[in-house]
Structure 1
Amino acid sequence: MTTSHSRDLTEDGVSAHTAAALRAAMKRLFDGKPQRTDGRLVKENLWQEAQVSRATMNRATAILAEWDSHISQHGTTTLGEARRDDEITRLRRKLAEKTAECTLTNRRLEAAATAIAALHHDNTLLRQELAASGRVTQLRPRKG
């Protein structure tokens, strides 16, 4: 005996309205344009995005097969997540370059500071030596 309820079900195993809601939710999630969830490509977001119960979603076996097929082909990373990950990778690379640049600059600064300190020390010793000897040697002017 067939009930009127079973006659209302589509080949997807749910009502036409529910199937449409699930397919629309699936499209929004795959397109990266969720309305009711955070957009992650997980089944929990599918039933919440479609505003149906988890049990209802689970009865839609054909739609779930489409979901699983898409996820196996494209992965669970949304377009927005892929862009974000690419941007993070680019920024990390740039940060590494700038860090290496700063390290090199710091090494050069330390070397310059050491050279300046050594020259200052030598200059001080020479001034003390001149002051002790009391004589200053004139340098001949350069010929142009």
Structure 2
Amino acid sequence: MPVSAASAARLREAMDRLLAGQPLHTDGALTKENLAREAQVSHATVHRAEDILAEWDAKVARPILRTPGEVARDETITELRKQLRAAKAEVTKLNGRLDALATVTANLYHENQALKKRDRDRRLASLPSAH
């Protein structure tokens, strides 16, 4: 079902404003969602206006522009992911060290027990017999 002449006119005017960088109702990002908002029509109306969408796609054949806030958010997310990867690597390294220390501690404990037993056995063997 095609769009009305009034809706088509609103969409073309909105497209012109967005492409000129002079939006009235949006942040100016070149998205189909903003085209609908700028024209003050529903998203469904935009998708029914196939000829206008074809024009839009031909004119907006570059990557979708992001607002400065979106750019800052994405940079923050990237940095936090980098920090998380580094923290996970550090945790893995420290867990390896902890396992090694636990092994050494267990070996020292058993060695200490063996030495105590050997010392006890020597003291018992060296006691004079009472005859």
TM over 0.5: yes
Partner of 1:76: 64
Partner of 2:28: 29
Residue 102 (1) aligns with residue 63 (2): no
Letter in 2 for 1:93: K
* 1:83-128 Cα distance to aligned partner (Å, 9 max, x none): 3322222111111111111111111111111111101100000001
Is the Cα contact below 8 Å between 1:25 and 1:49 reproduced in 2? yes
* Structure 2 SS opposite 1:28: coil
**Hey, which bits of structure 1, 4+ residues long, moved more than 4 A?**
57-61, 64-68
* Structure 2 SS opposite 1:72: coil
Is the Cα contact below 8 Å between 1:42 and 1:76 reproduced in 2? yes
Measured in 2, the distance between the counterparts of 1:131 and 1:90 equals 61
Identity of paired residues, percent? 33
Partner of 2:123: 134
TM-score of the aligned structures, taking structure 1 as reference length: 0.55
* 1:19-56 Cα distance to aligned partner (Å, 9 max, x none): 379722576232xxxxxxxxxx432431234313636x
Partner of 2:127: none
Alignment of 1:54-73 (within 5 A): 54=45, 58=49, 69=59, 71-73=60-62
Partner of 2:39: 50
Residue 90 (1) aligns with residue 84 (2): no
Q: Residue 122 and residue 104 in structure 1: after superposition, are their counterparts in 2 closer, same or farther (change >3 A)?
A: same
TM-score of the aligned structures, taking structure 2 as reference length: 0.60
